[in-house]
């Protein structure tokens, strides 16, 4: 996932931010006057294209690296301090030499911000759950999940040890789609009932093949106080539409082990709920 890939790129952000700072302080050079613009040669056009590609890559580098800061929920003023630290670190300024000594404070800040964000998300999620509970046929399970049958299937119900094939869409409470089978080439996902986030494990066992359901999952049975950044915040309540297409045959002994999961799919992020963690 992106947050793991980009950790090793943090030093490069210093260069990027330093370049931004220097560009902001340096006025652009005046272009030489000419009677008429000369036609670009093929070589010049290719050079411009390469420059454009590099600029896009550098911009994307900044976007990806910024995701390492998501858990801190920084204000603009706070981000200015972070930016200054990157620049000073790149230039090896004396003030940056003792940064490691502040690691405990950095970790404490991240924990504090994450807990505050999780508490806020839980408040929003509870209000969303209470509103969704008014839907026809809605059932609130003992663990807090809201199960809403949309279409009752005619096939069997899966059990904890089964593998199933599903179509699904996952949304935040503001309606943002954070993942779906449609985003993966429109192909159904094959998942192990007992190896996904708890609300999915519970919901699938309430369904029958051919059925459809909508579930609303409080964070305790989804991704917990850790969330699944950058898409899913700590403490977030999630909503899923699920279509149970089939119960798949068991894997042969030679195929035993971890099932492949789609990036961002219900079984692909570590779960913080009180069940065994995901691989």
Angstrom CA distances, 85 to 3, 5, 11, 97, stand at: 21, 22, 11, 11
Mean pLDDT of 133-139: 94
- Residue pLDDT, tens place only, 50-80: 788 889 998 998 888 787 787 787 889 988 9
Q: Which residues contact 76 (CB under 8 A, 6 or more apart)?
A: none
Mean pLDDT of 30-46: 60
Q: Has residue 113 got a pLDDT over 60?
A: yes
DSSP letter for each residue of 81-121: HHHHHHHHHHTT-GGGTTGGGGHHHHHHHHHHHHHHHHHHH
Greater confidence (115 vs 123) lies with 123
DSSP code at position 154: S
Q: Has residue 159 got a pLDDT over 80?
A: yes
Distance CA 146, CA 215 (A): 5
- The pLDDT of residue 222 is 96
Tokens 């996904």 correspond to what residue? Answer: 196
- The pLDDT of residue 156 is 96
The answer to which of 105-114, 128-137, 220-229 has the lowest mean pLDDT is 105-114
Domain residue spans of the chain: 2-26+41-97, 137-255
CATH architecture of 137-255: Roll (3.10)
């Amino acid at each position: 996932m992106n947050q793991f890939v980009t950790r090793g790129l943090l030093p490069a952000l210093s260069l990027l931010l330093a370049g931004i700072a220097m560009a902001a302080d340096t006025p652009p050079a005046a272009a030489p006057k000419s009677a008429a613009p000369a036609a670009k040669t093929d070589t010049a056009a290719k050079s411009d294209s390469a420059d454009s590609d590099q600029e896009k890559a550098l911009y994307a580098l900044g976007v990806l690296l910024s995701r390492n800061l998501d858990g801190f929920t920084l204000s603009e003023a706070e981000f200015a301090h972070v930016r200054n630290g990157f620049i000073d670190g790149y230039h090896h300024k004396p003030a940056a030499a003792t940064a490691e000594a502040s690691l405990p404070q950095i970790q404490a800040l991240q924990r504090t911000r994450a807990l505050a964000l999780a508490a806020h998300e839980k408040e929003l999620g509870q209000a969303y759950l209470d509103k969704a509970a008014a839907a026809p046929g809605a059932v609130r399970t003992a663990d807090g999940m809201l199960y809403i049958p949309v279409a009752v299937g005619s096939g069997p119900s899966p059990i904890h040890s089964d593998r199933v094939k599903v179509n699904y869409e996952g949304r935040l409470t503001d309606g943002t789609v954070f993942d779906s089978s449609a985003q993966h080439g429109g192909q159904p996902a094959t998942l192990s009932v007992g190896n996904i986030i708890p609300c999915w494990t519970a919901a699938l066992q309430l369904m029958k093949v051919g059925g459809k359901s909508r579930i609303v999952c409080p964070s305790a049975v989804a991704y917990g106080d850790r969330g699944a950044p950058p898409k899913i915040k700590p403490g977030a309540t999630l909503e899923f539409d699920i279509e149970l297409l089939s119960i798949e045959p068991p894997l042969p002994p030679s195929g035993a082990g971890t099932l492949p999961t789609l990036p961002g799919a219900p079984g692909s992020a570590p779960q913080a709920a009180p069940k065994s963690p995901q691989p």
